Amino acid sequence: MPEAELVAAAQGGDLGAFEQLMQRYEPRVLRLAMRIVGNEADAEDVLQEAFLKAYAKLDSFQRQSSFYTWVVRIAVNEALMKLRRRRGDRELPLDQELDTGEDLLPREVEDWRPNPEQQMARQELQDLLNQNIASLALPYRVVFQLRDVEGLSTEETADALHLTVPAVKSRLLRARLQLRDKLSRYFRRPGDGSLPAGAARPEGQA
């Protein structure tokens, strides 16, 4: 059943329709929560709280964005609240202004997706990528996760995180540049200051 029909049915009191929406998006929301909070137990808590709040506030969903984007917004808020409680608010909130140095950043970054010719096995590369994504500062990590991993558009990401489109583009570009810098160290040949032919490079436009 299309998402719009499931949402309409759920808003009409059909619990089964809401459960179908949950089943459809649980893996993606859980993966996002894991990126933010860093462990499975807290991520499961975030997932449960996000869907409980979504169900309680279902009547307030105006369908101006996708249901997934709306749930993501709730899940991100829940994850950030959990982090603040755990870390004493030492993490920057996503809506805090950051000194991005935007004017100093290049406008485009080339594609960096894995190439079959790379010598590193795909699983090892994926593990390496996951470790480096996790090392990004929270504001950049969440934007990268939504935009490049989950595949949301720039506008959907901005909507989910209550950011402007330029802020999303700036943070995404910073995240890609940082990942390029981190990953390039693993693909340089000895004595070579550049990436070897066929090595992964950052993705294109924000």
Amino acid at 24: R
DSSP reduced 3-state for 12: coil
Q: Which domains does the chain have, with CATH numbers?
A: 3-87 (1.10.1740.10), 102-187 (1.10.10.10)
What's the CA gap between 145 and 132, in Å, rounded?
A: 12
Torsion of CA 81, 84, 85, 88, to 10 degrees: -170
Both tokens of 57, joined, read: 């506030």
DSSP notation for 181-198: HHHHHHHPPTT-SSPPTT
Q: Which pLDDT band holds residue 6 (cuts at 50, 70, 90)?
A: very high
- More confident of the two residues 158 and 1: 158
Neighbouring C-alpha atoms within 13 Å toward the C-beta of 50: 32
- Amino acid 206: pLDDT: 43
φ/ψ (deg, to 5) at 33: -60, -40
* Whole-number Å distance between alpha carbons of 106 and 166: 14
Q: How far apart are CA 120 and CA 51, in angstroms?
A: 39
pTM passes above 0.95: no
Q: How far apart are CA 186 and CA 108, in angstroms?
A: 22
Residue 107 has pLDDT above 80, yes or no: no
pLDDT per residue as tens digits for the range 117-143: 544 456 777 777 788 888 889 889 999
